[in-house]
Amino acid sequence: MAGYESRSNRNINNAYIKAFSSLSIIGYIVIHHNKVYKEETFVKAMSRWCDTFFEPVIKQLEEYYTNKEKAAKT
């Protein structure tokens, strides 16, 4: 990220990176689910993805929209 930011003179919002990373994982799950859903490695990966990608992104989105609603009311 630092290399891109220094070359482009733009800051990257990590929230977008996390959201798109989560979407990539969801795409993988959708495409491969029928082949891998019973494999133990997939079950472990799902748990890891939930902890490291999905739950943090959901919390981040909830905070964003809660703050946005509060700002709209003021």
List the pLDDT tens digit at each of the 74 positions of the chain: 778 788 888 888 778 888 889 999 999 999 999 999 899 999 999 999 999 999 999 998 898 889 888 899 87
Residue positions counted in the chain? 74
Residue 39's pLDDT is what? 94
Angle between helix 14-36 and 55-73 (nearest 10): 140
Q: How many domains does the chain have?
A: 1
> Does residue 54 lie within any of the structural domains?
yes
Residue 44's pLDDT is what? 96
> Does residue 5 lie within any of the structural domains?
no
In angstroms, the CA 57 to CA 4 distance is 23
> Does residue 1 lie within any of the structural domains?
no
Domain, as residue range, for 41: 15-73
